[in-house]
Amino acid sequence: MLLDAPEDLFQVTGAELYVELWGGHPGNANKRVTVNGRSTYQMPKVGTEEGHCTFSYPIIKLDTTDLVNGQNAFQWALDQGTTFWGHAMVDQACLRFALTNNHPRVVDLGLAEFSATVDADQFSTATSEGIYLALESNDQFSGQIESVMFQGWYDGYDENGNLRGTDWHGFTLDREPVGFLESVSQKPFVMNWDTRLFPAQKNVAVRALVRFKEAPGLVYVTAATPGLVIPDRRGRAVHLYEPVDLPASFWSRDTNEQSCTIMLDVNMEQIEDAELYVITWTGGAGDVADYFTINGDHFPVAEGSGHTRQFNRIPVDPKILKKGANVIRLLSDTEHHGIEVIYPGPALMIRYRR
DSSP of 177-240: EESSSEEE-SSS-EEEEE-TTS--EEEEEEEEEEEETTEEEEEEEPPPEEEEEEPPBTTEEEEE
Q: What's the rounded mean pLDDT across residues 70-75?
A: 97
Q: What is the mean pLDDT of residues 334-349?
A: 96
Nearest CA-CA partner of 338 in 292, 298, 299, 282: 282
Report CA Rg, the chain.
22
Does the pLDDT of residue 105 top 80, yes or no? Answer: yes
Per-residue pLDDT, 278: 98
Question: Which residue, among 12, 104, 118, 116, has the nearest Cα to 67 in the 3D structure?
Answer: 12
Alpha helices by DSSP H, the chain: 104-108
* Domains defined for the chain, CATH in brackets: 2-98 (2.60.120.1200), 104-230 (2.60.40), 236-353 (2.60.120.1200)
For 138-192, the DSSP string reads -GGGGGGEEEEEEEEEEE---TT-SS-SEEE--EEETTEEESSSEEE-SSS-EEE
**Chain center to CA of 266:** 29
At 53, phi and psi to the nearest 5? -80, 125
Query: Is pLDDT above 90 for 150?
Result: yes
Angle at 166 between CA 161 and CA 171, to 5 degrees: 40
Distance CA 27, CA 248 (A): 10
Residue 211 neighbours by CB distance under 10 Å: 18
pTM of the model: 0.94
* Pairing verdict, β 166-168 and 145-155: antiparallel
Determine the Cα–Cα distance for residues 243 and 260; give it in Å rounded to an integer.
6
Task: Give the C-alpha separation, 95 to 106, whole Å.
Answer: 18
pLDDT of residue 142: 85
**What confidence score (pLDDT) does residue 53 get?**
96
336 band by pLDDT with thresholds 50, 70 and 90: confident
Report yes or no: 20 and 93 within 8 Å, Cβ to Cβ: yes
* pLDDT tens-digit series, residues 158-192: 999 999 999 999 999 999 999 999 999 999 999 99
Region of poorest pLDDT, from 67-81, 114-128, 333-347: 114-128
Confidence of residue 37 (pLDDT cuts 50, 70, 90): very high
> What's the Cα-to-Cα distance from 328 to each of 13, 181, 187, 265, 303, rounded to whole Å?
48, 28, 43, 17, 17
Is pLDDT of 249 > 80? Answer: yes
- C-beta separation of 191 from 208 below 8 A: no
Half-sphere exposure (Cβ direction) of 248: Cα atoms closer than 13 Å? 9
Q: Is the pLDDT of residue 83 over 90?
A: yes
- β-strand 55-56 against 14-22: which pairing, if any? antiparallel
- Mean pLDDT in residue range 68-85: 95
Decide if pLDDT at 127 tops 80.
no
Q: What is the pLDDT of residue 125?
A: 79
Q: What pLDDT is attached to residue 256?
A: 96
Helices and strands, number each (H, E), in the chain: 1, 29
344 DSSP 8-state letter? T
pLDDT, residue 139, reads 86
Whole-number pLDDT of residue 351: 97
Residue 47: its pLDDT value, please? 96
Q: For 8-17, write each residue's pLDDT tens digit.
A: 999 999 999 9
Average pLDDT of every residue of the chain: 96
Give pLDDT, residue 188. 93
